[in-house]
Amino acid sequence: MPMPIGTELSQARLVRNLLELESVAIAIYDSALERLSAAEELSALADFRQDHVRHVQELTEMAARLRINNVPKHGSAPTQSFSGLEMNELESLPQLMRALKTNEENTGIAYRKAAANPLSDLDMTRIFHAAAHDEEQHQEWMEAHSQG
């Protein structure tokens, strides 16, 4: 069984897995933004996507500082399936919105675990706490605006 993200036993694997999780989030946001028409939703989701892009930038800088090689590049297609569905199977807007909400939950949990990971130095912990806070805000918005 795979180890939950955030509890890895090496800094390199921790950062790489968080980058992969962020790549999944960005890909789902891209798909959702292509299908949305409501201005409020478009604006909020575009802002949330930018938070994930910022997380990728911070994680990439962290990887460079820690001399971690072979990190996923921003914009590369995620290799993970999502909630039992492959990325290309997330076709309907309700599926995408459920996937986004689930991704925000999973990413928030991963960042909280990463912040508590004994391998995380003070700078890593600060970045992980801030990212977890972003994920909580995204999740709260989605819960307040969910349809059904």
The letter for the amino acid at 75 is G
pLDDT at 32: 83
Q: Which CATH number among 1.20.1260.10, 2.40.50.140, 3.40.50.12780, 1.10.3470.10 corresponds to the domain 11-144?
A: 1.20.1260.10
Q: What is the pLDDT of residues 116-128, one digit of tens each?
A: 999 999 999 999 9
Could you tell me what percent of the chain has a pLDDT over 70?
82
The overall average pLDDT reported for the chain is: 84
The closest of 2, 1, 140, 134 to 59, measured between CA atoms, is: 134
Residue type, 8: E
128-139: pLDDT as tens digits: 999 999 999 999
Q: Which residue in 54, 49, 75 sits closest to 141, CA to CA?
A: 49
Cβ-contact 68, 15 below 8 angstroms: yes
**87 and 78 Cβ atoms separated by less than 8 Å:** yes
Where do the domains of the chain lie?
A: 11-144
